[in-house]
Structure 1
Amino acid sequence: MPFQKAAEMLDDFMGIRVSRIVSQRYAEEAGAAYEQMQNEEAERLEKEAPRAKPCADKIQISADGAMVPLLHGVWAEVKTLVIGEVQPEVEEQGEQVVHTRNLSYFSRKTTAQEFQRLALVEMHRRGVENAKEVAAIMDGADWEQGFSDYHCPRAVRILDFAHAAEHVNNIGESLLGEHTPESQAWLKERLHRLKHEGPEKLLGEFQGLQRQYPQAQAISGNLAYLEKRKDQIQYPQFQAHGWPIGSGIVESGNKLVVEARLKGSGMHWAEYHVNPMLALRNIICSDRWKEEWPKIEARLRQQARQRRSQLHQSRIAVPPPSIPEGRVPNLDVALISYISTQIEQKDCPPKLKKNPWRNFKCGKALYQRPVSPKI
């Protein structure tokens, strides 16, 4: 929720009054601390490669991007990874349905290469490498396929069914018009065949359309996309093996984790505040706040101690310069300057702060400089 709303709720329910600025500063400091902890953990995992904990038998991973508004009208992509445990099939309204539970999230605004490296923290925490079977259900973007290659090359690759349907729909609308009853009926029949019969016959039909309309870029372009991912649209096989065929968990994750907090009305973020907020959103939406907050608190206390130590070191008086050998009878110029400076600082009264109470009679006496008695 917005910082102002959070401050108001804290006052209403706990009787603790803080300003919006204070709540924002504390949240950003906590998020930055947790982001730093995860970055350090990613480096440790890369160096030590420890064994992961046991995991569920069937795991689904899905990744996608969502745009968030930054300052000065700039938009940036936030990448999100969702990991979940695939449950056995259940019958709902006469159909077999597969659900994915125990979801956890990892989000960052960074490059694709850096994201796949940093996401090692969540992949290791969930023990994905120990799962018997893993399905990578993505929407077909190149960086998402690279993510799967990096983390689990043995995973079953599944193209999100809704994304495949978009390309089938593009072919139909190029022939029958956009949003016409004919194109909708055509699409419904083809998607049913794709879902229950597989892509072979459907791709053969599209190849015939390409030969019939060789100048139609919509047909040739979308056909090439589907042919390139033929192994990823074998939906009857995937369903028979108990896999979901949609990446809805990451689509909803974009809305729940990213857009619900960073894409509100009138919101524009400084770039360096995005990842700290995402780090906090990840643990909140993954139901891990009680587990992770003590670690964040310990890191914040450690940082506070370091700041106090640095401040204390900066206030230690500088020792007087040593007198070079051979110049003992005569005081060194630097030493004389040092001594005179110390004397002046002790003799001079402290600098008075500007205070509105000095304008009142009752306050003048408190702020008058001490007058030395005349001798």
Structure 2
Amino acid sequence: MLCLGDSLRHDDPAMQPFLAAIGQAQSLSALVIAAWTLAQSISVQIVESVLAERAQYPTIWPNCPQCGKRLHSKGLVKREVATLVGMIRWRRRVGRCPDGCAIGQIAPFDATLGVTPHQRASLELQALGCAFAVFVPFATAAHFVSWCSGVSVSSWAVWQWVQVAGTEAMKRLESQLEALETGVEPEVEPMAPELADVPLALSGDGVMVPLRPHGGRPEGKIQWREVKVGVLARLRSYRNRRDKVVTRLAQRRLVAVLGEIDEFKVRFWYEALRQGIRRAKTVVWLSDGGRGYWGLYDEFLRGYGQGILDFYHAAQNLWKGAAAWLDGRTKQARQWFGCARHWLRHGHLDSVLGDLSEALEVETLPGETRKTLEKVYAYLVHHQDHLDYATYKDQGLPLGSGMVESACKWLIQQRFKGVGMRWSAGGFNHLLHLRLAWVNGTFGALFEPIETGNGALDTRPQIASPN
């Protein structure tokens, strides 16, 4: 440290305050913060030094896109971009058309760096802001970004970064779905060898979100719309310290759509193909009684695995029948429900249907009670192929759809249903796709620079200033 400190003092006296702060720090926390501040300052100097050197390289000027004449240099012009280590400033050559065509200033060096003409924040800083916004409100995310980088960042800038990244995520998904429509199936996502033979569990459910009735304008009554959520995961079992077999979700992937069930079906099927549904030895679909979700099973999944009706949802319908038939306040209703629930759980569906059938044969049965019992009876008959809970339990399969209910809480409720939150449909979708990219492991790919044909780096359009 003494040698490094002497070198820094000799080379740059401006570093003395940072070195003094390190020397005066008493606690470990104060020492780390002082060192971090020094490291940021050194990083800025290193980057600016490299940029200054590279800016002196000969510039290959392109032709004017309008008249075709070679651009002429107009000298060095300042440029600054907010980055993870602070504000970076450099000077680079800019060119204009010799005939004065309205093309603005062209800076080939910026294109080589992957910096667009109006970009004010670097790609890694935007990625950090979007990552924070995935979990916390935009104002809090902006504060975190400023805290980490030392650059003042506004919540509006973070919001705009999310819109750009969310749009990119949506475009990529649309491209993948278009390829699927033409018969091009996606590649199966790589997985750990130990997951290849474990069951693949699929589930779907819906959750309501508050939306603004007039887009970005705050006035008007809240409109509640359903977000359809799907989860796909491998059911990995192991023994815990108490020698009890425990099942955990591995390689969990989520699908969510603010839209119609048909959109959800296509996106869910695409993800099912990526998770190797055609290769999986055991596939199970778990859901409650929602028609749209069971329509997904009938249309896409029936030929690959077993459907299981959520046991607790089935029991809830049994209680509706008991309450209508025997009055839910009576001991007789609770006793019958307990017996019926036990029969259903242990594979005696016929006993439950027999009791309901006998009840429906009573001529003095009130009209509303009869209507409720008929619905419960039809519900159980419709799902009779999905109610063999004793067999499912013996096979180590789950009986409830808790995996998707948990996904709804994490993916939607924890971020989108805070106190006073209301969303425009566009703003909701952009952030939703970023949250999906995060949990599905594709978040980083949204911020990777793309190599162009001439060796330069091309990035997505930047539309916001950090301030």
TM-score bracket for this pair, using the shorter chain length: 0.7 to 0.9
Match of 2:210 in 1: 69
Cα RMSD (Å): 2.8
State the distance in 2 between where 1:24 and 1:118 align: 26
Change (3 A) 1:183 1:4: farther
What are the Cα deviations for residues 162-212 of structure 1, in whole angstroms up to 9, with x where unaligned?
Answer: 110110010111234346665445433322221123312111112112223
- Map 1:140-219; keep pairs closer than 5 Å: 140-154=289-303, 155-178=305-328, 183-212=333-362, 213=365, 215=367, 216=369, 217-219=371-373
Q: Which moved more, 1:47-56 or 1:117-126?
A: 47-56
Contact kept, 8 Å, 1:59 with 1:133, in 2: the verdict is yes
Match of 2:181 in 1: 46
Q: Aligned with 2:421: secondary structure?
A: coil
State the distance in 2 between where 1:29 and 1:269 align: 17
Contact kept, 8 Å, 1:68 with 1:262, in 2: the verdict is yes
Corresponding pairs, count: 303
Q: Which moved more, 1:174-183 or 1:242-251?
A: 174-183
Q: Aligned with 1:49: secondary structure?
A: coil
Cα deviation for residue 239 of structure 1 reads 1.6
State the distance in 2 between where 1:201 and 1:214 align: 23
Cα deviation for residue 278 of structure 1 reads 1.3
Change (3 A) 1:185 1:94: farther
The residue type paired with residue 445 of structure 2 is P
User: In structure 2, which of residues 198, 209, 232 is the aligned counterpart of residue 83 of structure 1?
Assistant: 232
User: In structure 1, which of residues 221, 227, 235 is the aligned counterpart of residue 375 of structure 2?
Assistant: 221
User: In structure 2, which of residues 226, 247, 250 is the aligned counterpart of residue 101 of structure 1?
Assistant: 250
Structure that is richer in helix per residue: 1
What are the Cα deviations for residues 214-233 of structure 1, in whole angstroms up to 9, with x where unaligned?
Answer: 63222121111111111111
The residue type paired with residue 189 of structure 1 is C
What are the Cα deviations for residues 272-302 of structure 1, in whole angstroms up to 9, with x where unaligned?
Answer: 222221111112234x1xx432334447954
Rg larger for: 1
Contact kept, 8 Å, 1:136 with 1:156, in 2: the verdict is yes
State the distance in 1 between where 2:242 and 2:372 align: 36
Gaps of at least 5 residues in structure 1 are 308-375
The residue type paired with residue 37 of structure 1 is R
Cα deviation for residue 93 of structure 1 reads 8.8
Cα deviation for residue 147 of structure 1 reads 1.4
Cα deviation for residue 244 of structure 1 reads 1.0
Do structure 1's residue 60 and structure 2's residue 195 form an aligned pair? no
Cα deviation for residue 97 of structure 1 reads 5.7
What are the Cα deviations for residues 79-100 of structure 1, in whole angstroms up to 9, with x where unaligned?
Answer: 1110011234768999866443
Cα deviation for residue 61 of structure 1 reads 0.4
% identical aligned pairs: 27
Contact kept, 8 Å, 1:89 with 1:242, in 2: the verdict is no
Change (3 A) 1:214 1:227: farther
Q: Aligned with 1:276: secondary structure?
A: helix
Change (3 A) 1:209 1:14: farther
State the distance in 2 between where 1:4 and 1:127 align: 40
Q: Aligned with 1:194: secondary structure?
A: helix
State the distance in 1 between where 2:263 and 2:252 align: 22
Match of 1:267 in 2: 421
Match of 1:284 in 2: 438
Change (3 A) 1:167 1:14: same
Q: Aligned with 1:164: secondary structure?
A: helix
Q: What's the TM-score once normalised by structure 2's chain length?
A: 0.59
Match of 2:280 in 1: 131
